[in-house]
Amino acid sequence: MTKANLFIVSDSVGETAQKVISAVMAQFPEVEETDVRRFPFINNENDLKKILSDALSEKAVVVATLVNRQLIAVLEEFAGRTGLDYVDFMTPLTQMIQGKTGMIPKEEPGALHKLDQEYFNRVAAIEFAIKYDDGKDSRGFKQSDFVILGVSRTSKTPLSMYLANKSYRVSNLPLIPEVPLPDEILDVPSEKLIGLTVSPERILRTRQSRLNGLGLNIDSKYANLERITEEVEYANDVFRKLNAHMIEVDDKAIEETAAIIEEIARNRV
């Protein structure tokens, strides 16, 4: 198997290297597998040396976007001593700009993104949405800007991620009649609760399509109209009990539903 093994080492997020690697690897469609491991926020020599040692043992190419001169020196020394393959995306151009302008670089990790606090808010919100997706950890409900409730296949996760990209901290919880509600949901203010309502027939079509795509039996209980109707009725009862904002999503795109939720957010400020 033809494989490319790369380590991204950065004293910030590492997105710059990731984008360049993606562009480069697109030129090698015959490479069967690309293993890219990202090591962000590296800010001390010990951590860097451990990563470099691992890269050497795994015969990986190190792609560096470091701005700290000390860490760059560690990388250069290690590579010179061991023969480690590496590319430094930052230093050559930084040195050229310094030579042309006479200005000293700040050597500040993440300076590009620190100019935009919204970037960090968005990254944090996306990480939050992933961590608290699908009711995996009910402790996240209290920290959420919104908690999205609904039965399976009502687009809770895509909606959560869309809102996270707008810097909202969103968790979601699937509603199943046989599964008791977590106690934490009862402590969430009703203004933060969003209930997605949808017709049983629409859910049936979505679930059947999902099962077909997976090559599974569409006659299962998961895609039974009577069962789905029971789930929808249960969910609507929960919405009323919790006094959640109810949004009918049968014919709405994710963007439309998100716009309604953002309007709710604006009105409660």
**Angle, CA 148 vertex, CA 147 and CA 154 arms, to 5°:** 170
pLDDT at 206: 87
Q: Which of 5, 126, 7, 127 is nearest to 66 (CA)?
A: 7
Model pTM greater than 0.95? no
155 is in an annotated binding site: yes
Q: Is 101 annotated as a binding residue?
A: no
Residue-level pLDDT at 216: 81
> Per the annotation, does 91 bind a ligand?
no
19 annotated among ligand-binding-site residues = no
What CA–CA distance (Å, rounded) separates 213 from 240? 34
Q: What is the pLDDT of residue 113?
A: 56
CA distance 173 to 166: 20
pLDDT for the residue 249 = 94
Cβ count near 51 (within 10 Å): 20
157 annotated ligand binder: yes
The whole-number pLDDT of residue 120 equals 81
pLDDT at site 15: 80
In order of their start, the domains of the chain are: 3-114 (3.40.50), 117-267 (3.40.50)
The span from the CA of 154 to the CA of 132, in Å, is 17
Question: Phi then psi for 193, rounded to 5 degrees?
Answer: -95, 130
151 is in an annotated binding site: yes
In this prediction, residue 29 carries a pLDDT of 85
Is 154 annotated as ligand-binding? Answer: yes
Q: Is 174 helix (H, G, I), strand (E, B) or coil?
A: strand
For the sheet containing 245-248, what is the strand order? 170-174, 146-150, 193-197, 245-248
Q: Is 22 annotated as a binding residue?
A: no
Per-residue pLDDT in tens (0 to 9) along the chain, 269 residues: 578 899 999 988 788 888 888 889 889 888 878 889 999 889 899 999 999 999 999 999 999 999 899 999 999 999 999 999 999 998 888 889 889 899 888 777 666 655 567 778 888 999 999 999 999 899 999 999 999 999 998 999 999 999 999 999 999 999 999 999 999 999 999 999 999 999 999 999 988 888 887 888 777 888 899 999 999 999 999 999 999 999 999 989 999 999 999 999 998 76
